[in-house]
Amino acid sequence: MASHRKSRPSGTRVAGIRTPALATAALTSVALLSQTATAAPADDKPSLEEVEKKVGDLYRQAETATEKYNGAKEKTAKQREQVDTLLDDVAERTQKLNEAREELGSFAAAQYRSGAAAPDTATFLLADSPQDYFDQTQLMGRMTSRQKSAVDEYVTEQSATMKKRQEATESLQSLTETQSDLKTAKATVQTKLADARDLLSKLTAEEKARLAAIEKEKQEEATRKAAELARQQAAEQKAAQEAARQQESSAPSSSSTAVTDSSYATKAAKALAFARTQIGKPYVWGATGPESYDCSGLTQAAWNAAGISLPRTTYDQVNAGTTVSLSAAQPGDLVFFYDDVTHVGLYIGNGMMIHAPKPGAYVREESIYYDGESAIHSVVRPA
């Protein structure tokens, strides 16, 4: 007799539940995916390329903060000098006012002795001005012209002194705000540099070697681009000289241009000679020499050696001259970098420059393409 018992389906029991083979496979996949998801966060270390980009970004952010620091420091010095001058002026004026007040008080006492009116010292000292006091006590009519003149001078000086006191108060407030900006910029620089050092310290010896290899490749490409620019500039210069020879009729104009170029070349040579003697000195943010420099501190010092005064920060230096094309760059020109104009170097020709690169580095000659062609912002001729 045929059995009516159903055959048992193949599969296994999980927690008392019979599961088909397909469900078992699905559960296995879920378990494996779960294990993978759990293990993934353990390997969240950034790639070497990410570290390089992050470190580069931190250095640029530090340089941005450095230029803000430089600007705030320069502004602080000027404001402090202004405040000191105002305070000295206020003190001197106050002394004169005190002396004048005593003299006017003696006028009131003299009038009292002559029987004109009773002196009221409190009223005199609290009056808005000696003029008010003498009007109130009806003494103005009895004063001599010299005494009346003294009152007028006192009132004028008092008004000027009050104005100077207000200026000093406002200048002190502005100085306090600038000092706060200075403190903030300094803290930002220190934080960004600490973050960069922390990232680099976590690299293994092998990773550091790979990072050095990447940097070497970048420098080789930068050198190639510099040589390419040098060839372009040489070709353009040769073409310009040929055109000049063919236009002898414009000799007066050409002569004037030649004199101008010669004058600039002489000054630029002095600036470059100074910059070359600084090669090997360390980059220190906020430094202007003579033992260390930041980027704008170096260019400022170099052109100062040539008798040209440049502003302190890159933001101001970029506007302290005539902008020229990269292909027309001459030795001595300032080359600025990045959209926020936070780095500068001194062009020496052939696509190369002298600059103070970044913390941990030294003043050196390097291709202007050291951080890629897109990093170049502009070229400025400062004299």
Q: What are 364's strand-pairing partners?
A: 355
**In the predicted structure, residue 226 carries a pLDDT above the cut 60:** yes
Q: What is the mean pLDDT of residues 70-93?
A: 87
- Residue 62: what residue type? A
The highest-confidence range among 4-8, 23-27, 114-118, 267-271, by mean pLDDT, is: 267-271
Q: What is the mean pLDDT of residues 108-121?
A: 52
- Residue 349: what residue type? G
Identify whether 377 is a catalytic site residue.
no
**Annotated catalytic residue within 68, 192, 355, 377:** 355
At 167-188, the pLDDT tens digits run 888 888 888 998 999 999 999 9
Identify whether 343 is a catalytic site residue.
yes
**Annotated catalytic residue within 186, 281, 312, 343:** 343
pTM: 0.67
How confident is the model at residue 143, as a pLDDT?
55
- Taking CA atoms, 332 is separated from 68, 197, 245, 275, 310, in Å, by 25, 33, 26, 10, 13
3-class DSSP assignment, residue 355: strand
At 284-296, the pLDDT tens digits run 999 999 999 999 9
**Annotated catalytic residue within 55, 100, 151, 295:** 295
- Evaluate whether 139 touches 108 at the Cβ level (below 8 Å): yes
DSSP state of 45: P
The highest-confidence range among 76-90, 172-186, 192-206, 334-348, by mean pLDDT, is: 334-348
At 121-134, the pLDDT tens digits run 444 444 555 555 55
